[in-house]
Amino acid sequence: MSEWGDGTRCVRAGLPEAKPGDPFLPGPVFAAPYHLDPFQGPGASPNGYGRPDNPTRRLLEAAVGELEGGECRVFATGQAAITGLLLTLLRPGDTVVLPTDGYFPVRAFATDVLEAIGVRVLFVPTVGPYPSFEGVRLVLVETPANPGLDVVDVAALAERAHAAGALLAVDNTTATPLGQRPLDLGADLVVASGTKALTGHSDLLLGYLVSRSTELIAAVTTWRTTTGSVPGAFDAWLAHRSLATLDLRLARQSANAAAVVDLLAGRPDVTGLRWPGRPDDPAYPVASTQMRRIPGVLSFDLGSAERVGRFIEAARLVAAATSFGGLHTTADRREQWGDDTAPGFVRLSCGAEDTADLVADIAAALDAAGPV
Ligand SMILES: Cc1ncc(COP(=O)(O)O)c(C=O)c1O
């Protein structure tokens, strides 16, 4: 599998062995209970009850696990995977390091729940400086961080964390497993929202966790079974079906981002442009060595909330929406969700439209938005 290119790996990921008469990707298995063997009970089959066991979910887990290079467990949402990781590993008295500039509900969870149960939380910007990891149980980074798109050197951080006896987890939502494989870079765990580019059609919620440690996977599986945060069979099947085109979608999204960045870099009415694939971006030196591909997400500042509104209203191909990584280009003014960003800060997620159409539409919408 590893000798194949990204497109081949995505198309083949998690597919069962070919059998005459069977579909390529079996349809969703809708079941709460399954028939049990009257004598052996659940011991006779891997399917006993839908919360711990579902064959559609297992195929998706095989697929994501192949792409990330580890054993995968999927969750109902990305947030369920991340909070599941934190609550599986952390006990009162433990210390966890979290990003100041990552997905904000993770920070809210840390202050509302983790600190309340006696976990010490250290917030550190993605670019550092990182404190000593002595006495730290878990370091969780998001790279590229959402929405500011800073990156951190995962291999260097893994070395530091391991030297101090800490575990390193990487949120791989923005990069996707085609953009980088944190486990290959030395991380112990990957968590992510599969809601974004991984599945990419803006029609489902999904989370996942991947590790090469059997003990960690066993602990997380127990957590998931006892708390019950599993995706349904239909969402798991849709996700697996969508995964097959990840390589194609990312290629177009990334090319669109590069072209939009070229346009925005030349406009005096756009400031604070960030995209880790741009050679003069502060994230470029690390991103260009650690990442295999740069995602279609960029950010910039249009000076005021009103101007962002006028820009989105004028655009025909840019939808106002949160989330990112989908087929349709979307823009999100992050301050409205509580991110610590300027009022005119926009996260733009490039979709799979034709590059020329998208660039022309964004240029016209910026013109129509007028001055700040
Ligand atoms: C980096 C990152 N991690 C985790 C999440 C949470 O994912 P979900 O919305 O699937 O719960 C998000 C959602 O935007 C995210 O951007």
Tell me, using a 6 A CB cutoff, whether residue 188 lines ligand 1.
Answer: no
What pLDDT, on the 0 to 100 scale, is given for residue 289?
Answer: 97
> Under CATH, which number does the domain 6-242 receive?
3.40.640.10
Q: What is the largest CA-CA distance in the chain?
A: 76
Separation between Cα atoms, residue 302 and residue 366, nearest integer Å: 9
Average pLDDT in the chain? 98
Separation between Cα atoms, residue 303 and residue 269, nearest integer Å: 8
Residues 6+ positions from 293 with CB-CB distance below 8 Å? 6, 178, 179, 250, 254
Tell me, using a 6 A CB cutoff, whether residue 173 lines ligand 1.
Answer: yes
Tell me, using a 6 A CB cutoff, whether residue 171 lines ligand 1.
Answer: yes
pLDDT tens digits, one per residue of 120-155? 999 999 999 999 999 999 999 999 999 999 999 999
The pLDDT of residue 1 is above 70 = no
The pLDDT of residue 320 is above 90 = yes
Query: Please, are residues 82 and 106 in contact by the beta-carbon 8 Å criterion?
Result: yes
> Are 6-242 and 246-369 equal in CATH topology?
no
Residues 6+ positions from 321 with CB-CB distance below 8 Å? 202, 328, 330, 331, 332
Q: In what order do the strands lie in the sheet with 138-142?
A: 71-75, 207-211, 189-193, 167-171, 138-142, 95-99, 120-124
Distance 41 CA to ligand 1 centre (A): 38
Query: Please, are residues 43 and 37 in contact by the beta-carbon 8 Å criterion?
Result: yes
pLDDT tens digits, one per residue of 230-275? 999 999 999 999 999 999 999 999 999 999 999 999 999 999 999 9
Distance 192 CA to ligand 1 centre (A): 7
What pLDDT, on the 0 to 100 scale, is given for residue 97?
Answer: 98
Query: Please, are residues 95 and 135 in contact by the beta-carbon 8 Å criterion?
Result: yes
Report percent pLDDT > 90 for the chain.
99
Tell me, using a 6 A CB cutoff, whether residue 103 lines ligand 1.
Answer: yes
Average pLDDT (174-193) is: 98
Vertex 18: Cα angle to 13 and 20 (nearest 5):
150
Tell me, using a 6 A CB cutoff, whether residue 325 lines ligand 1.
Answer: no
What pLDDT, on the 0 to 100 scale, is given for residue 279?
Answer: 98
Domain boundaries, the chain: 6-242, 246-369
Distance 75 CA to ligand 1 centre (A): 12
Average pLDDT (86-107) is: 98
Tell me, using a 6 A CB cutoff, whether residue 53 lines ligand 1.
Answer: no
Choosing from 64, 75, 77, 79 the residue with most ligand 1 atoms within 8 A of its CB, the one to mutate for a pocket test is: 79
Separation between Cα atoms, residue 194 and residue 243, nearest integer Å: 10
pTM for this predicted structure: 0.98
Query: Please, are residues 133 and 166 in contact by the beta-carbon 8 Å criterion?
Result: yes
Residues 6+ positions from 268 with CB-CB distance below 8 Å? none
Query: Please, are residues 122 and 131 in contact by the beta-carbon 8 Å criterion?
Result: yes
Question: Is residue 64 classed as helix, strand or coil in its secondary structure?
Answer: helix
Question: Is residue 6 classed as helix, strand or coil in its secondary structure?
Answer: helix
What pLDDT, on the 0 to 100 scale, is given for residue 105?
Answer: 97
Distance 180 CA to ligand 1 centre (A): 17
Query: Please, are residues 325 and 296 in contact by the beta-carbon 8 Å criterion?
Result: yes
Tell me, using a 6 A CB cutoff, whether residue 79 lines ligand 1.
Answer: yes
Average pLDDT (334-355) is: 97
Separation between Cα atoms, residue 72 and residue 70, nearest integer Å: 6
Tell me, using a 6 A CB cutoff, whether residue 205 lines ligand 1.
Answer: yes
Please name the residue whose Cα sits nearest to atom 16 of ligand 1: 103
Question: Is residue 111 classed as helix, strand or coil in its secondary structure?
Answer: helix
Tell me, using a 6 A CB cutoff, whether residue 146 lines ligand 1.
Answer: yes
**Record: fold of 246-369:** Aspartate Aminotransferase, domain 1 (3.90.1150)
